[in-house]
Structure 1
Amino acid sequence: MRKNDLIAEIYATAIRGAMGFWGDYPAIVPMAPSGMDATAPHLTWDDRPMEPGEATFFEIAGAHRRYQCPQSRTLFLGEVPEKYLNAEAAVLDAIEAGLEQAKPGNQAQDIANAFNATLNKAGFEKDSRCGYAIGISYPPDWGERTISFRRGDTTVLEPGMTFHFMPALWLDDGGLEITEPILITEDGHECFCTTERKMWIKA
């Protein structure tokens, strides 16, 4: 299947909606780069099929009445190189560390600091932010361009705030994205999506 045909199916499903809610148009088109294209963020799709030995990350958003809920997962076709498995393990541990700091009274940078410290212990680095505020958005961006999970952002987290915890890694021959949209609650946080948190592998 050509990737553009796959994206057409994703778009159609999103617009049809789910659980009785119709789908609005997302503020960013689906992003689905494969292989070397996945070494950088914000690339979309082309007409070639996904190939064995390549990672493809799908970063897409559900939208309703302009509220945006983005999430990303990575699909690897074929035998997975050890460095991708190591990256997955490091990212999953770092996500848990970051989420432990996602609670009222903490600062946005607390999530980034916990995430980065755990990631660095595993031998990986991420120089860019690992999350940002989401809510009502229009093209060209589903981020609110206010709060970021990065060192130096001292914004205090409050109940009702929503974020895309976006700890992506871009490797030398591909990318790995496993992300979570979250809500800050009265006593911690809630993940909006129930998609299993892992790199998906298809032989």
Structure 2
Amino acid sequence: MNKYPPESLEHDTRLKAVREVCRDRKIDVAIFTSPENIFYITGLDYEGYFATHALLVSIHGGIILLARHIEAVTVSRQTKGVEFSGYSDTDDVAALITAKIVSLAGERARVGLQRNSAATVKIDTPLQSYLPKANIVDVSGIVESLREVKSHFEIEQIKRAAAISDLMISTGLSVAGEGVVESNVAAKIYGAMIAAGGQSPGFPPFLRSGDRISEPHTSWTDQPLKNGAPLLLEMSGCVNRYHAPMARYGYIGSASAAAKRLSEVSHQAHLAALAALKPGCLARDVYSAWKACLDSAKVRPRAGHCGYMVGISFPPTWTGGPGVQSLHETSCMEIRESMVFHLLTWVTDERNDHFLSDCVVVEKAGAIFLTRSSRDIFEI
């Protein structure tokens, strides 16, 4: 019988992998600052990441988390093998980090600093000043690259999130209709999400109608849904910080023949991208298969990609934090088994829009849908 739950064993494996990469790069101490990377290594899942966090990983065995003093109880309960170092709101956080680095590896250490995170801005320049004899290098991408291929445990969390995503969509469709206020639809979606065991997702559920369809990151208002107006529902369940985004599109009342044609084009391009998403291909190959389908139908994409990798995320996004990996026309990213994507098609024929997306996982034989709601254009 395991001494720790599966996620604890996951974190042990992840920490070992991070240290191996650091050794290969001759890094004595690595500092990670983004919530997604800190969660990946330690399992710390809470709302305290608005303040500066610095996770110090020594190749010699020490792992120290600097965060505000008030977070000590949460950190001790949620993490294993992590030394907590609290700071007050008046402390010089960079100076405290410097002292920890020196204690772990000395003044001449080769220090890795995650520089692609906004949280690093406050400490980067001071660290260089406080450690003039150290060699500070950028380690952005070390943890992100390890997060690309999901373990069995991670995929199970995403499957649970996908089931909640489907429930959120079906709830929205069951409530929406002419005269129903958008915020009331959102309230029912949130209720279903929480009752099913979902956490607060990185993005709120996106619910847009009428002339707000082309606003990619806005959500509900206090306005009623109008007959003949388009309606977009894009949302994600979240379980243990793992996301499974999806979107469905339709109309309040009847859809025009042109809108239905655009829906069919969108669906076919979606399936073309899914079919191309196989281990060994490149991201640009997936984009090419998708774009060729749109070009043949003389339909223009609104987005410059047909999806992006998903998994661990914290607000304000479900895209995984710094270093989003998308399926675009120049990407040389190799597709590997157990990668997970938000596969999407957002298109326009200049008169109508259509948006369709799903969470998909890459298996040995190719990608499969994890979100399962009907992909047909809806009319309610």
Please show how residues 126-165 of structure 1 align to structure 2 within 5 Å: 126=301, 127-144=303-320, 145-165=323-343
Please show how residues 9-158 of structure 1 align to structure 2 within 5 Å: 9-17=188-196, 22-126=197-301, 127-144=303-320, 145-158=323-336
Structure 1: gaps spanning 5 or more residues = none
Partner AA of 2:184 in structure 1: D
For the residues of structure 2 that align with 1:48 and 1:112, how far apart are their CA atoms? 37
Q: Could you say what secondary structure the match of 1:140 adopts?
A: coil
For the residues of structure 2 that align with 1:174 and 1:24, how far apart are their CA atoms? 34
Is this contact kept in 1: 2:299–2:348, CA < 8 A?
no
Is this contact kept in 2: 1:162–1:184, CA < 8 A?
yes
For the residues of structure 1 that align with 2:209 and 2:349, how far apart are their CA atoms? 12
Which structure ranks higher in relative contact order (CA pairs < 8 Å, sequence separation ≥ 6)?
A: 1
- Tell me the TM-score normalised to structure 1 length: 0.92
Structure 2: gaps spanning 5 or more residues = 1-179
Which 4+ stretches in 1 moved above 4 angstroms? 170-174
Greater shift after overlay, 123-132 or 25-34?
123-132
Is 1:198 aligned to 2:376, yes or no? yes
Correspondence for 2:137: none
Partner AA of 2:219 in structure 1: T
- Tell me the TM-score normalised to structure 2 length: 0.50
Larger radius of gyration: 2
For the residues of structure 2 that align with 1:162 and 1:32, how far apart are their CA atoms? 24
Share of identical aligned residues, percent?
A: 25
For the residues of structure 2 that align with 1:80 and 1:118, how far apart are their CA atoms? 22
Instruction: Quote how far apart the aligned CAs of 1:180 are.
Output: 1.2
Offset from partner CA, 1:120-169 (integer Å, 9 cap, x none): 11110115111000000001110124321110011001111100001112
Aligned match of 2:363 in 174, 185, 200? 185
**How many residues in Structure 1 have an aligned counterpart in Structure 2?**
198
Instruction: Quote how far apart the aligned CAs of 1:12 are.
Output: 1.1
Partner AA of 1:135 in structure 2: G
Partner AA of 1:81 in structure 2: S
Offset from partner CA, 1:1-51 (integer Å, 9 cap, x none): 21101101101111111xxxx211100011111111002311201011211
Q: 1:56 to 1:195 in 2, by over 3 A?
A: same
Say which structure is richer in helix: 2
For the residues of structure 2 that align with 1:28 and 1:45, how far apart are their CA atoms? 13
